[in-house]
Every structure is written in structure tokens, then in C-alpha cells.
Chains A and B, each alone.
Chain A
């Protein structure tokens, strides 16, 4: 949590991009997430990507579900309209918004609880529908906002903060996206900005359904093995005053590693993530090869990162529905209403 208010005025020397905006123009309100939360790093990457792409902030519509991750759209692109919908059902709202106005860029932000549990159906159907959007799941394997329950992406055998062992198999959102026809599928790590920013840029520019699964460590609910003592200590001493939980500030986990390499990243709870970055000569245009490659590495305990699959010629739901180029939300009565003359004919046919 940052408690310093951001200055409103821009420094005159701040660098502007081609559309005349400074980086500051892509920021949002101050984050209320735990310090060190991977989700904040993803927000920073989104800011960077939109700035680099010279996107006018107000041309982006940012939508999310419910969860810590889903709160983040408030923390970037302050000049964009945002919509924090209901738990797990962002994809449908985004779909409707996209149908109403095809000219905006749609950014969907969700959590692993949001997308892999309550919202799995909506996630899957948005992928197969080919809604043009960049759909980012900030995947921490737990329910952050409701304080540490397993999410459906948690690995079998992993332990919750309360010591419960997860006996269920994880949902692999990337596998589902690949299988159901998403035309841009990537996986990354919140702390690997060098990889994440270009992936977000690619997703924003993609012509169909783009999905990025971003592994995003939760400082608060996977830091139990090393730091429970102080956490419990503070909470015990805090109880008399209020029942508000104390969130111990953590350190953002970052990494940087070359293409083709395997890196082991230590999580807040001491567990290791084994990330393997796709090699530069990996061909991401073969959907079936991507699925098998991903699964082969999963069997080795490795998580592949990078752009797994892309259909560069992808089209979207509007193409499938053959909708007009003019956004539907701008059509007026003269364009939409057949008028009394047509009604006269209908009336006559009904007698």
C-alpha cells in the first residue's frame, strides 16, 4: 500500500508519446493492494504497454470481475471507463460492451478464482466466441480478497496458509484457451516485465480473443512458512482494537531470464516456481503443437512462459456476426426503425 498521494500536476519536462500523453496519463488511482502484490506489477506492465503503443487512454474500456486482481483496473488508465462487474462474470459483460461499440479496445482483468472457478464457463465461452479483447488473468493460485482459500488453479498437494492440503487437480486456463479457439494465448510472470509488456502489447493489438495467464504471487497468502510468526503476533495484539487483518508488506518478486532458459523463482512461501521461457525459434502458429509442448513441460514440473499460440489472421465475433462497421451504440431511430409503412404491411399480413 502506498500512502503518498500522487501529485496531480504534470512536470513540464515529462516525456510524451506520439499521441501526446505522458506515462502519468496512463496511471490510475493509488493501489490499495498489499505492497509487493504481483498484481501491481501487472498494472505497471499494462501502463507501460499502452504508453508504448500510443493508445489514447479513453479509447480503452477496462472490465473486471471481483477479487484483488479485479480491483486493479482502478489503478491504471484513469481516463478510461472501467467496470468492476460481478464475481466471475466479466467475460459476458465485456462481450456485450464490445458488441455495443466495436471501436474501443477491450481489456479484461480477472483472477484465477474469478476465471477458473465461478467464472470458468464464461471464460471458456468468451474464448470460443472470439470476442476481441485482451483477457488477463492474474493467477496467484489463491483467493486473495477472501483471504487465502485455494483457487482452482492451485496445484494438487500444495498447502494453504491454514495448513490444508489441496487434493484437487488444477485447472489450466492456458490449455482451455488453446483448446477452445482463443487466437492469442500466452503465459507470463508478473515479475518479468521484459517479457510481460510485449505480450500485453501483442494482446492489445490482436484481432481476436487474446488471453494471457500471468502468474502473480500473493504476498499475503503464500508467505506463511517464513513469516507467520510476526503476522500472528500482530494480529493477536490487534484484536482488542479491531478485527482488521494486518497485511505484512512484502517484496515484489521479479525475474529476468533469457529465451529458452529455465529459471527457478522462489515464492513468498519459499516454494519454487520453475519457469521456462519459450525459445526464440519456437513456432507459435501451430495450435496443436502448442498444446502438446505445454503439456510435455507441465509433466516435467515446468511452466512455459511466452507467446504459446497466435493466429495472426484472427477475426472476431463482429466478423462472425457480420455487424456494421458503425458502432451499434451510435445508430439512431432513422437507421434502426422500419417505420409505419413496414408496420402496415405486417398488419395486413396478420389479418
Chain B
């Protein structure tokens, strides 16, 4: 599986993402700078976490208007799989590639800890290695992870199987929902399930030194689906 990781000024999880993708696929991803207007032919494009453009104005807002995003949107429209983690998820909602928006955490605190995620839809190219309802542990680290969508949009997400992951009770200490997200939503798909955005960092649960390797299943599943 060939992949590309987009780097914005302020991105800081590109190396973590690169390692996770390389570990799963055996191929190092291509790094693409936000000012680039071309992206090589790849099977997967990833927007990693960080604080693109300092999160000025709104988290992910400037990133969503970066030159490279024109090509990212065009590829996504042609069905090229696209993954956005944390700041990447915020950028995908800002770019209109995923529904909803990410608001400031309900308790106004930056949250950095392990959470338990429940897989809500395992019938996608991203989640094929999981069973529906399965839970796993993965870290979160964000200030604006409070997922919001209006009532109508929420119903559409639920009816169409677009809720990817929910925060759930599990082995992780602390309240299940770390940020006040509506309906405990931690990640969503677009309508065709070719775009996934999630606040937690599965790439940071792929090495025993991370304290857990639950995130590998996501990357192994993606590689299996796209190779």
C-alpha cells in the first residue's frame, strides 16, 4: 500500500503516522508539503495530527484552505481513501469532506490520556479487522475534540452507518467521553465510507513502548483493504 502524509506548518504527528503506516505496510509514506499542488499516485492520503497553522481562527481552518487541499479534495471526490487524525479530522470537517464540526472541549481543558473506543461500523475499508462493538484502547491529545452536528445531520450519520467510533466505558481510567462530544462520537465517515476522521491517535498505540498496540488493527486493516 502506497500512502502520502500531508505536512502543514505546525503538524507534529507526521512521524508517528509515518512509523505506523510503514510498520503496517512495509513502505514508507511520501511526505507532501502543504504548499505542494501535486500528490503522487497513492492508495491512501493521511492528514496527521498537530496544530496546523497554529490553529489560528479555528482548529484546522487554515489547513483546510492550504494549496494542497485542492488536490486532496479532488482525490477524495474520485474515491481515494483519506484518513484524518485529530487536527487532520478538524481540517477534514473544515474542508467540508466530513460532516459536523469540532468545538472546544466541554471542560475547557486540553485532554491527554488513554480512552476506550467502540467500533460502530466494521464494514469499511478502514475497520475491516475489527468486529462491530469491539472496544480498544488508544490515546487522545486535543483541545478541540468536542464533536458537534445538528439534529438532522446526526440522524443522517446514524442511519447511514457513518459513526465510526464512539468513546466507551472500558479499561481506560476517567470518564469515557473526554471532551463532551455529541452522542460520544469519536470518529465519523463520509457517506461513501472512503473518508475517515477521528480525534484519538491510533498511530500512537502501535508499538509496545507506547504502552499498547491496539491501534495496529486499524492500520493492518487499511493495508489489507488497499493492497
Asked if A and B are interacting partners, one says no
* Interface set of B (CB-CB < 8 Å, partner A): none
